[in-house]
Amino acid sequence: MTAPDWAPLRKALADRRDRATDQIEERRAQRRSDRMTVRERIAGLVDPDSFAEIGLLAGEGDADGFVAGRALVHRRPVLIGAEDWTYQGGSIGVAGASKRVRLAELAGRTGAPLILVLDGAGHRATNLLQPHRPAPNDLQLLADLVGTVPLISVVAGPSAGHGALAAPFSDLVVMAGPEAALFTAGPPVVRASTGEDVDKLELGGAEVHCRVSGVAHQRAGDESTGFALVRRWLRYAFWPVQPGADGPRPCHLTEVIPTDPRRPYDVIRVIDELVDRDSWFEQQPEFGTSLVTGLARLAGRAIGLVANQPKVRAGTIDVSAADKGARFLDTCRMLGLPVLFLTDNPGVLAGSASERAGILRAAARMYAAQRRLDTGKLQVTLRKAYGFGSSVMAVNPCDGQWLNLALPTATLGGIPARLGAQTSGADAELTRQLTSGEATGPWRQAASGGFDDVIDPAELRTALLTGIRDLPVTNRRWTTRPEE
């Protein structure tokens, strides 16, 4: 075909692209000023000029309400798809569904993180009127990707049904902006099917999913802040080692941790003393608050961090905390990150309400996630470590720790000594022996090799840096090709 013969074909292609983008620009003028368009959202997430769209011409118009493509974040490849709330409410059409499958398939093949921006009404009702062949749907492929590829959901508006179901699969869920909401069915369907009259935020807003259900990890006041959280989270995934990090420095833990195990303190202050400056990124700060989880760096090495929070019910592990811990540990395993455990808890939460909520199931799931963790465990017993609460925090000897330390304030046992003596009907002499044994703190376990060392609090950061120095860097469950 000669050069002139290409002219009509190129014009036809340009016209189709123009029609698609022109329709989007027309709607931009009509949109409410407080919400971004779908392409503005993508531009806010990825590196400048890095987005290459997939399926612009798919569907009857406007990319069928789902803009998808390849892009870079921090010069590393990602796959991204965003629901277009201005086109049929962001509902999922046949072509849009195909693009969702395509993104998930590419993520599985390349290992690139998959980012979804959710703001849509679920499956489009008119899909039933269109013939289509049986084919995999994206939820099937997302389920296959769990634990192998980083999955991220940004909820930028109301997301219902099929679209909302992407969030529970995700390693990071950000509720971005005041209209962010997730639900299996929206208020009209809830009203018609159950008679409950509830608005979208009461049904599934950020307060529900960040604080109560635990489906979401972070809330952001606006979309731009939410996108910045995603980009920051990906730094830990893309760079397991970052040069120019902090070196050894004294810890002022004696000013933070009381020696009396009944006195509370804020474990965030301990974390700030131990990790590299400005590296702490807390995940799910509003949910399961007796346990703290997040990402940080030690000497530039990206780590996960799981810590009991003594200022919340003495650090007792309840159902929400255990669910949060298990989910986070699975994410760290997928990312190939070692995990630092900071232990100070009296056990898992006892009582009839806790049993009815499923504490045995939840605590066992967290323990299984801890036991499966093979990316490196560093454990420090700060004070209390009792019963199954010590097991889920990797205190027990021979549990695969790379480093297992204790402070002199550590106390251990199946249950606190006085409580054990009381419930067993022990006489005064046995009670004295039990409490005396507990008072030996970590020395007995250190003497038998159960702890690698008992550390002066001022030396703890240095000990952790030494311990992590020779830990192999592993990223076995997902890999991406850097693009410099």
Render pLDDT for 120-130 as a digit per residue (tens, 0 to 9): 876 665 655 56
User: Among 234, 257, 290, which residue terminates a domain?
Assistant: 234
Do the domain assignments include residue 6?
A: no
Mean pLDDT of 376-383: 97
In this structure, the answer to whether residues 311 and 364 fall within a common structural domain is yes
Does residue 257 contact residue 213 with C-beta atoms inside 8 Å?
A: no
User: From CA 335, how far away is CA 198, in angstroms rounded?
Assistant: 39
In this structure, the answer to whether residues 208 and 249 fall within a common structural domain is no
In 3D, which of 277, 278, 333 has the Cα closest to residue 304?
333
Do the domain assignments include residue 3?
A: no
Do the domain assignments include residue 477?
A: no
Give the lowest-confidence range in 89-98, 106-115, 430-439.
430-439
Mean pLDDT of 48-67: 85
Residue by residue, DSSP assigns 385-405 as EEHHHHHHTT-STTS--SEEE
In this structure, the answer to whether residues 35 and 156 fall within a common structural domain is yes
Strand, helix or coil for residue 129: helix
Residue 229 has pLDDT above 90, yes or no: yes
Mean pLDDT of 284-305: 97
Alpha-carbon separation of residue 200 from 87, 328, 404 (angstroms): 20, 28, 47
Alpha-carbon separation of residue 292 from 175, 347, 356, 421 (angstroms): 19, 15, 24, 31
Structure tokens of 463? 């000990």
Do the domain assignments include residue 386?
A: yes
What CATH number does the domain containing 390 carry? 3.90.226.10
pLDDT at residue 483, as a whole number: 41
In 3D, which of 253, 257, 254 has the Cα closest to residue 274?
253
Point out which residues pair with 182 in neighbouring strands.
Answer: 159
In this structure, the answer to whether residues 321 and 418 fall within a common structural domain is yes
In this structure, the answer to whether residues 337 and 361 fall within a common structural domain is yes
Does residue 317 contact residue 349 with C-beta atoms inside 8 Å?
A: yes
List CB contacts of 19: < 8 A, sequence separation 6 or more.
Answer: 61
Residue 29 has pLDDT above 90, yes or no: no
Do the domain assignments include residue 66?
A: yes
Do the domain assignments include residue 5?
A: no
In this structure, the answer to whether residues 214 and 284 fall within a common structural domain is no
Split into its structural domains, the chain has a count of 2
In 3D, which of 360, 366, 280, 359 has the Cα closest to residue 324?
366
**Better-predicted residue by pLDDT, 56 or 258:** 258
In 3D, which of 47, 46, 84 has the Cα closest to residue 67?
84
Give the pairing type, strands 114-118 and 151-155. parallel
User: From CA 456, how far away is CA 254, in angstroms rounded?
Assistant: 9
With tokens 């470590």, the residue in question is 385
CA neighbours closer than 13 Å in the CB half-sphere of residue 116: 33
Structure tokens of 207? 């307060």
Residue 474 has pLDDT above 90, yes or no: no
Helix, strand, coil content of the chain in percent (nearest 5)? 45, 20, 35
In this structure, the answer to whether residues 259 and 175 fall within a common structural domain is no
User: From CA 26, how far away is CA 45, in angstroms rounded?
Assistant: 23
> Which H or E element spans position 174?
strand 172-176
pLDDT at residue 195, as a whole number: 93
In this structure, the answer to whether residues 287 and 186 fall within a common structural domain is no
In this structure, the answer to whether residues 162 and 308 fall within a common structural domain is no
Point out which residues pair with 44 in neighbouring strands.
Answer: none
User: From CA 450, how far away is CA 447, in angstroms rounded?
Assistant: 7
With tokens 């292609």, the residue in question is 13
User: Among 214, 234, 254, which residue terminates a domain?
Assistant: 234
List CB contacts of 477: < 8 A, sequence separation 6 or more.
Answer: 147, 148, 333, 334, 335, 336
Structure tokens of 459? 């030396």
Percent of the chain residues topping a pLDDT of 70: 84
User: From CA 66, how far away is CA 82, in angstroms rounded?
Assistant: 6
> Which H or E element spans position 325?
helix 319-335
User: From CA 342, how far away is CA 266, in angstroms rounded?
Assistant: 12
In this structure, the answer to whether residues 192 and 277 fall within a common structural domain is no
Average pLDDT of the chain is 88
Mean pLDDT of 343-350: 97
With tokens 């806790």, the residue in question is 354
In 3D, which of 173, 160, 166, 170 has the Cα closest to residue 203?
160
At 117, the amino acid letter reads V
User: From CA 87, how far away is CA 83, in angstroms rounded?
Assistant: 9
Rg, the chain, Cα only: 26
Q: Which residues constitute the domain of residue 124? A: 12-234
In 3D, which of 412, 413, 395 has the Cα closest to residue 452?
395
Do the domain assignments include residue 1?
A: no
In this structure, the answer to whether residues 198 and 278 fall within a common structural domain is no
In this structure, the answer to whether residues 16 and 114 fall within a common structural domain is yes
Do the domain assignments include residue 312?
A: yes
User: Among 192, 209, 234, which residue terminates a domain?
Assistant: 234
Residue 26 has pLDDT above 60, yes or no: no
| Report field, pTM of the whole predicted structure over 0.85 | yes
pLDDT at residue 417, as a whole number: 43
Q: Residue 239: phi, psi to the nearest 5?
A: -120, 85
- Cα dihedral 368, 324, 112, 109 in deg (nearest 10): 40
Mean pLDDT of 255-276: 97
